[in-house]
Amino acid sequence: MKKMTGAQKTELQELPQIKERLSFLYLERCLINRQDSSISITDERGTVQVPAASLSVLLLGPGTTITHRAMELIGDAGASVLWIGEHGVRYYASGKPLTHSSALLILQAKLVLNTRSRLEVARKMYQMRFAGEDVSHMTMQQLRGKEGARVRNIYRKCAKENEVEWDGRSYDPDDFEGGNAVNQALSAGTACLYGLAHSVIVALGASPGLGFVHTGHEKSFVYDVADLYKAEYVIPLAFRLAAHPSDDIGGDMRRALRDKIAEGHLLERMVKDIRSLLMGTSDTETSYADIVDLWDEKRGTVQNGISYGKEMDLETGYGTIIEDDDDSDNINGLS
């Protein structure tokens, strides 16, 4: 068999944490391939290389062609990939999490499935928007009304400050050009923010679909997280650009938002906020342990990769643990 050549796969512990990465990179009309541990990007102007592990989100616009080897590298690096239209309105795929542990996912599911804990997390999300106010006793109906009023006020304020006509948020995902300048900028910026939130959620090992405020959609938690920062990062910038729009307001919005995200260290902030919401701590340590246990209704978990069931006590259901010399076919703990 021919020996494989090229760069060795990077160990999970060696990858940069999500908070340390470039927020997102938008590409269009180019060929994307793999060169060792970097992706090579080729268009009519030449070729450049970008370390895959430095990316958080890769935005692929019209005319992009990407190889299987490049996607393999991006997936291993834990980056997210978005296949989007020219101005960015859809999300299609994501990379692997930067952790082998499912602890955060299990905790998220427990919080979502319990009405009391779900309400508590939802209130925390709203509390982040209303600094100095106590929302701990508000119902979801009250919180939605309060948030709606806040966002409408922000729209009106930004429109007035930038002297931009504002008739309300109106857009068609299938007709970007049909919206006015400010709605186009809002759509492009929101798509990027969703991609960034999705990437952080996946990288941490949480579920994009288990939302606390939003529900029933594969990206419910993405919308939850993105809404924490939309009024701060996307809305003011969209109105500022719409005051003097160019022929490529979508591109202008992506570039300006990328710079603002980097300046505000939003990636690091998202990591801390998500962990704080789900775990009650902003500690950003990530578990890299590649451990698989077996679930047990009495003990919680038992060790995987050994043979159970020999010399079993029929009354307790447990027996002597017999070591298995070869556990390659025993991933489920079945003898």
Residues 129 and 181 in one domain: yes
Return the pLDDT at 217. 93
> How does residue 2 score in pLDDT terms, banded at 50, 70 and 90?
very low
Return the pLDDT at 288. 44
Kindly state the average pLDDT of the residues 239-256. Answer: 93
CATH number for the domain harbouring residue 60? 3.100.10.20
Report the sign of the C-alpha dihedral through residues 275, 278, 279, 282, in that order.
positive
Number of domains, the chain? 3
Assess if residue 7 is contained within a domain: no
Q: Which residue has the tokens 């939850």?
A: 224
Residues 216 and 269 in one domain: yes
Assess if residue 28 is contained within a domain: yes
Beta bridge partners of 296: 300
Return the pLDDT at 89. 60
> How does residue 16 score in pLDDT terms, banded at 50, 70 and 90?
very low
Residues 141 and 209 in one domain: yes
Residues 42 and 187 in one domain: no
pLDDT > 80? residue 309:
no
* Cα–Cα distance, 258 to 263 (Å, whole number): 9
Assess if residue 308 is contained within a domain: yes
> Hey, what amino acid is at 263?
E
* Cα–Cα distance, 40 to 47 (Å, whole number): 7
Residues 220 and 329 in one domain: no
Task: From 27, 48, 83, give the residue that closes a domain.
Answer: 83
> How does residue 4 score in pLDDT terms, banded at 50, 70 and 90?
very low
Segment 52-67, tens digit of pLDDT: 888 877 888 889 999 9
Residues 135 and 180 in one domain: yes
Return the pLDDT at 196. 86
Return the pLDDT at 62. 86
Segment 140-197, tens digit of pLDDT: 999 999 999 999 999 999 999 999 999 988 877 777 777 889 999 999 999 889 988 9
Nearest to 267 by CA among 225, 231, 238, 236: 225
Assess if residue 312 is contained within a domain: yes
pLDDT > 80? residue 299:
no
Segment 77-97, tens digit of pLDDT: 777 787 877 655 666 666 666
> How does residue 324 score in pLDDT terms, banded at 50, 70 and 90?
very low
Return the pLDDT at 190. 92
Assess if residue 140 is contained within a domain: yes
Residues 144 and 185 in one domain: yes
Rounded to whole angstroms, what are the CA distances from 245 to 29, 178, 182, 312? 23, 15, 9, 75
* Cα–Cα distance, 42 to 31 (Å, whole number): 5
Residues 298 and 275 in one domain: no
Residues 123 and 272 in one domain: yes
Return the pLDDT at 82. 78
pLDDT > 60? residue 73:
yes
Assess if residue 268 is contained within a domain: yes
Return the pLDDT at 231. 96
CATH number for the domain harbouring residue 181? 1.20.120.920
> Hey, what amino acid is at 23?
S
> How does residue 136 score in pLDDT terms, banded at 50, 70 and 90?
very high
Q: How many CB atoms lie within 10 A of CB 278?
A: 22
Return the pLDDT at 145. 95
Averaged confidence pLDDT in the chain:
81
Residues 174 and 43 in one domain: no
pLDDT > 60? residue 313:
no
Which domain covers residue 189, as residue numbers? 103-279
Q: What is the pTM of this model?
A: 0.74
The answer to which of 77-81, 110-114, 304-308 has the lowest mean pLDDT is: 304-308
Residues 266 and 331 in one domain: no
Most confident of 129-133, 155-159, 270-274: 155-159
Most confident of 77-86, 93-102, 311-320: 77-86
Kindly state the average pLDDT of the residues 317-330. Answer: 48
